[in-house]
Amino acid sequence: MEHLELLSSFVFPNDTHVHWNIMIVIYPYITGIVAGAFIVSALAHVFKVESLYPIAKFSLIFALSWLLFVTAPLLNHLGHPERALNMLFTPNVVGPSMMAGFGYIYMSYSILLIFEILFVYRYEMVLLKENSIGIKKVIYNILTLGTNDKSEKAPEVGSIQMTQDYEKKGDKLVSTSKEKKVVKVMSWEERREGMKQVCSSCHSTHHVDNFYKQFDSLVNTYNDKFAKPGSEIVAQLKKDGIWKQTALHQDDIGYIWYEIWHHEGRRARHGAAMQAPDYTHWHGMYEVGRHFYNKFLPGVLKLAEKAEKDGMVGMKAKYEKVINDLLSKPEHEWFKTGGNPELLKAIDAENKLRYKQ
């Protein structure tokens, strides 16, 4: 206090303030951090300095956090911080105000930074949006500017892309990034044709075609019969607010659904791709079916009944209908009826042919 008095009114009668020497250090220090973090991200994103890739995205958040704080020393110094915005609305245009000028720069830089962060983190925020409900979902929807797009834009012919490559250095293979020019953008059909040509160097075309026919049928069966209707029910439960937990495994049914798509469904498809009948069937589709009919659907009904008890009228009837409609589809009919007689006859005939009994 004594020192403050000594300093106060030293030059002007009204210059009592927190010591300017502290402010003058803190203010450029923080602006330096903000500018530095932005340069780090620009070096990676614009100038492709690879060593900075791992921190390029985060340094934007870092810059924003400090940017929000950068005016604190100045506001402290002003004595009347609540008037800070006045200079922006009534700038002294004739004899240009330095502070207002910086205010504009500061504001435009903040807007630039916020938008850059929204775009750079779009993928993560779409993921967060998909996995949240209620007000959080609304907030993420605003932050993602309403998009659900997680895909990277397909590279255009003629554009330069960073690619991962290997180089021989001495007796070691070293991973490097190289810029290459896009000559052609290939569809999955073209890629499959290319793969089939590789297979055809050993197998007959017929053999290879049949392999892909079988593989595609398995994937489509899994998708259409279990994965799509299951996902629709899960989405509906979340929309109705019945499936409350956003963390998947806090709930019985969360675990069951997770295992259906993450374990069994995936094993079935990998098994078909790798010609492993045991994985395709017993560790795959057999378990998908078992858990779908005997655990997943009953679990859905249990949740709906609980919701009804808790006062959400109509939920029980709604999900009973959803499940009934699903089980009445031809591909699920066997679960209720044991299969239609024609189908059973065909299976019998197939068994006779195959096992001669």
Residues that bind ligand HEC (CB under 6 A): 195, 198-199, 201-203, 208, 211, 275
Distance CA 159, CA 144 (A): 27
Beta bridge partners of 174: 167
Quick one: 176 or 210, whose CB is closer to ligand HEC?
A: 210
Quick one: 30 or 199, whose CB is closer to ligand HEC?
A: 199
Shortest distance, position 214 Cβ to ligand HEC, whole Å: 8
Shortest distance, position 210 Cβ to ligand HEC, whole Å: 8
- Dump the DSSP string for 224-243: IIIIHHHHHHHHHHHHTT-S
Shortest distance, position 275 Cβ to ligand HEC, whole Å: 5
Quick one: 89 or 188, whose CB is closer to ligand HEC?
A: 188
| Amino acid letter, 352 | K
Structure tokens at 102: 């910086």
Q: What are phi and psi of 117, to 5 degrees?
A: -65, -45
* C-alpha distances in Å from residue 163, one per residue of 160, 176, 274: 9, 8, 28
CA dihedral angle for residue 30, residue 34, residue 35, residue 36, rounded to 10 degrees = 90
8 A C-beta contact, residue 2 and residue 34: no
Quick one: 213 or 239, whose CB is closer to ligand HEC?
A: 213
Distance CA 31, CA 63 (A): 9
Nearest by Cα to 304 from 227, 243, 247: 243
Quick one: 203 or 295, whose CB is closer to ligand HEC?
A: 203
Shortest distance, position 213 Cβ to ligand HEC, whole Å: 11
Shortest distance, position 198 Cβ to ligand HEC, whole Å: 5
Quick one: 123 or 211, whose CB is closer to ligand HEC?
A: 211
Shortest distance, position 245 Cβ to ligand HEC, whole Å: 41
